[in-house]
């Protein structure tokens, strides 16, 4: 199966996928990595693995819809079976969802529907929850609202800082991402309303 991964930052989730794809039994390969900005470690990781990259910056476009069309075209060129947002910090638009809405995954660092948005671990800590975690879901038109594929929980410890909790979540998140993407590409999936079924 062909994976296109979108990143905006360090790309440790991308790296976990690249490592998993090195084993032919995994059944997938990363055919391209896209970003919304230059100069990020995620793009370097792709290049180091010999994977082509592309960058589509919002500010190079007349408006957000134009950027969305360009991103959609770039991704479509690589004919992905799955598109994976792994720390991609842009919300895609209607064109992108029309093309990839049933095969665009995002991994988020909270147990949704709690703590959507970009500060999952910080918000979990501030709220005082005792379990945090990560959620893998198919992206819909909302913010962190789409049908859930998998969730993993980790404890919040008494002496946690934002950094220590973030790292504990990311560790579990990477394993979940690799496991779930492997299952999806091997077994397929159906989305019925909010329910994702992997046969
Ligand atoms: C992940 O924890 C993801 O949930 C959050 O940003 C992080 C991306 O990390 N949105 P990385 O770039 O894969 O290291």
Q: Partners of 107 in the beta sheet? A: 136
Q: Check: CB of residue 27 under 8 Å from CB of residue 178.
A: no
Please give the mean pLDDT across all residues of the chain.
97
Domain of residue 40, residue span: 2-119+135-151+177-197
Residue 187 lies in a domain: yes
Residue 73 lies in a domain: yes
Residue 107 lies in a domain: yes
- Residues known to be catalytic: 108
Residue 125 lies in a domain: no
pTM exceeds 0.95, yes or no: yes
CA distance 106 to 172: 15
Residue 156 lies in a domain: no
Residue 25 lies in a domain: yes
* Domain at 50, CATH number: 3.40.50.170
The ipTM, to two decimals, is 0.95
53-55, strands of its sheet edge to edge = 53-55, 29-35, 2-7, 82-85, 104-108, 131-138, 148-155
CA distance 13 to 45: 11
Count of domains forming the chain: 1
* Torsion angles phi and psi, residue 182, rounded to 5: -60, -45
pLDDT digit string (tens) for 57-86? 999 999 999 999 999 999 999 999 999 999
* CA-13 nearest atom, ligand 1: 13
Q: Is the CB of 121 under 6 A from ligand 1?
A: no
Annotation-wise, does 3 bind a ligand? no
Tokens of 176: 């979940």
């Amino acid at each position: 199966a062909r994976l296109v991964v979108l990143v905006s930052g360090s790309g440790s989730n991308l790296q976990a996928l690249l490592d998993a794809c090195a084993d032919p039994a995994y059944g997938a390969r990363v055919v391209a990595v896209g970003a919304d900005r230059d100069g990020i470690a995620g793009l370097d990781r792709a290049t180091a693995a010999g994977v082509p990259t592309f960058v589509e910056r919002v500010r190079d476009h007349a408006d957000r819809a134009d950027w969305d069309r360009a991103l959609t075209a770039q991704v479509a060129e690589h004919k992905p079976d799955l598109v994976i947002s792994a720390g991609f910090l842009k919300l895609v638009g209607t064109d992108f969802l029309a093309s990839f809405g049933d095969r665009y995954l995002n991994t988020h660092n909270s147990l949704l529907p709690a703590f959507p948005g970009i500060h999952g671990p910080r918000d979990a800590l501030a709220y005082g929850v005792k379990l945090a975690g990560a959620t893998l879901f198919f992206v819909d038109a909302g913010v962190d609202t789409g049908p859930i594929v998998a969730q993993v929980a980790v404890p919040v410890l008494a002496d946690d800082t934002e950094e220590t909790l973030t790292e504990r979540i990311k560790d579990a998140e990477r394993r979940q991402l690799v496991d779930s993407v492997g299952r999806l590409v091997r077994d397929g999936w159906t989305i019925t309303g909010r329910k994702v079924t992997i046969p």
